[in-house]
Every structure is written in structure tokens, then in C-alpha cells.
Homo-oligomer: A and B are copies of this chain.
Amino acid sequence: MKKISVKLGNRSYPILIGSGLIKRLTPHLLKAAPPSRSIGLTNLPVYRLYKNRLPDMPWIVLPDGERTKNLATVEKIYHRLVSLKADRQTTLVVVGGGVVGDIGGFVAATYLRGIPFVQVPTTLLAQVDSSVGGKTGVDLKSGKNLIGAFYQPRVVLIDTDFLKTLPDREYLCGLSEVVKYGIIQDERFFDFLEKNVSRLLEKDKSVLARVISRSCEIKAEVVSRDEREGGLRVILNYGHTLGHAIETLSGYRAIHHGEAVSCGMVFSARLSWKRGLCAKTTVDRIQTLLVRLGLPTDCPRYPRRDYARVMSVDKKSRGGKIRFIAVRRIGQVIPIDLTVDQITGYL
């Protein structure tokens, strides 16, 4: 088992990564949060598959899907917590993918003005991305993650065994974010991914352990240095400005997050090349790796004005300009301020 520390002063916490943690979930949770004072939150697919291995405590089970990630769901959970007599010493144990994690984290951040919570991410995307960093939130009709809070878990438990039951499409979505870490911060890691495409696609245990650990390390390092998105953390948004727009325009259904980000990363690389910020070979390497992994790289052909409309409510916009993450080379990205029209001009 590997341990990574997210250093945030008195809100620091460990990420524990390994195979077979599920079996020892109860004792692990016991250490972090006594089941007598814990309430679990998960979704139906996870609950069906892992029911017998989950600790004996009350479980709140959500329906599946991004469409549940709204304030109505949050309010239902609040009411369940009240009826279960949850108080400030109650720990919320959140087992599931990014959607459950985001909702659960937001509930933990706001119920009684904050109760402790433990993240147990079950999808690759949640393991390498959303479970690390303390971003929690829900969607509004007008945009993704518009409501939320920065709130840190007490511990993150990552079991690679959960990935065995993960649908292939969701697995690939996670790999999209893994590739992102190579591009934004670590060329050697990107090389490693290029050399291990087939083992990645086979969910090879040892490759997975390395990939998840390194991804969490990079994210933890960026987050430790910039908890609330004042500066460095913005690089994690690489591929996401367009990615979020694609998700919004597709109604969060036809196209999944990792797929949208894959398109967004190639778009950003191409924009960077056309603006003279990186070489054409950089664009090609990025696109080739994503294509070999089976990810889409062409942006859906929604009208430019629709892209512009949804981008203008992007959280990263600053007085009309969007802080867009451009590529210099594999392992290095930079934020540049662009208007919405400048961005959509490259579509």
C-alpha cells in the first residue's frame, strides 16, 4: 500500500492507494471514522456490487448519473441526515465515482456548517482527479459545478480493485485525466504512458498502481501549493475550458467528462501551436496517445455561438477574459488570458 500526503496545514490528509483495500475497508474506516458514528453515501451500481463488503452502518443510496448532481439531491440527503440524527461528530463515508464524491463532499461541507468525511473513490477518474483536492459541488442547469465549496476529506482510500467492475468507457475517461498529468507536469510520465498503452488497456495491476500514485502525487503537489485556485492550480484546468462547454452542450449525457476533456486537450494543444506556443509534434504526440487509448479527440460540431454562450459563465472567467491553459511542451503548460471569441475562433 502506498501513502501520499496532501499537505494543507491543519487540514492535511493522507491518500492510501493499494489493491485489496476493499476487503479491509471496514478496519480502515474504523481507524478514520467509527461506524457507530458514520453514515455512508454511495450510488446504486456501487451498492449492488459491493453491498456485502461495505461496513455495517446506515447507507444513503443515490441513483446513478451526473443528472443527480443537483441541489434537489443535496436537499434530500440533508433530510436523510437529519432523520438519521447526524451531528457534528458524524463522519460521512462517501463511496463512489466523481458525481457521488462531489455531492457527498458538498453535503459534508455544508451540513451543520461542516462535518468530517472520508472519500473512497471507485472510478479511475475519481481516484486520480476528483477525490484529491477538496473541490466539492453540484451543477446548476446553466452550468457544471457552479455551486460548491472547498472542503478537505479526513482520508482518501483508493482501491485499484474497484476498477475491475468499472465499465470500459468510464475507465478510459479516467485515463484521459491521467494523460493530462503527464502533459501539464511530467514528460517522463507521459513517455511511460506512451510505452504502456496496451498494459493500460488491460488494466495491468502494477502499471495501474504506478499511474494512480503518480497522478495523485502530481495533483496533491499542485493542490498543496494552491488550495483555493489563486495561481498554480489553474493548470489542472488544462483541456477543461472546452471540455466543460462540450459537456454542458451535450446535456451531460452523450459525452462523458473524460471524453470531453480529451477533445479539449487536443483543441488546446492545437490552439497553442497555431499561436506559436508549441511545436506541431507536441500536438501530434498528445493526439496520438489519446487516440491509441481509444479516446475521442475531435470537438463535437455545435454552433460556435453555443460554445461561446456556455463558456461565458465559466468560473475561470476574469472580467470577460478566460484563463485558458495553453501547452508549451509535454510537461509544461501556461495560463493565457483569451476572450471567448478568441477561443471559439480556433474551433
**A-side interface residues toward B, CB under 8 Å?**
37, 71, 74-75, 78-79, 82-83, 85, 87-89, 109-114, 135-137, 140-143, 145-150, 228, 312-313, 315-319
Contact = CB atoms under 8 A, between A and B. Distances in A.
A295 B146 CA distance: 43
A55 B319 CA distance: 20
Main SS at interface, chain A: mixed
Given A140-B79, A313-B85, A110 B113 contact: no
B110 A143 contact: no
A112 B150 CA distance: 10
A149 B318 contact: no
B87 A315 contact: yes
B147 A110 contact: yes
Contacts of A145: 113
Contacts of A137: 113
A228 B316 CA distance: 28
B140 A82 contact: yes
B88 A149 contact: no
Given A319-B37, A319-B89, A78 B146 contact: yes
Given A87-B318, A113-B149, A113-B150, 4 more contacts: A79-B140, A83-B142, A87-B317, A89-B318
Given A88-B315, A89-B318, A89-B319, A114 B71 contact: no
A88 B146 contact: no
A98 to B, nearest CB: 15
B140 A319 contact: no
Of all A-B residue pairs in the complex, the 3 with the closest CB atoms, nearest first, are A113-B148, A112-B315, A82-B142
Contacts of A85: 312-313
A318 B115 CA distance: 12
Contacts of A87: 315, 317-319
Contacts of A78: 140, 146-147
Contact of A114 (B113, B141, B150, B316): B150
A210 B158 CA distance: 56
Which of A83, A136, A141, A149 has its CB near the most chain B CB atoms (within 10 A)?
A149
A142 B112 contact: no
A148 B136 CA distance: 14
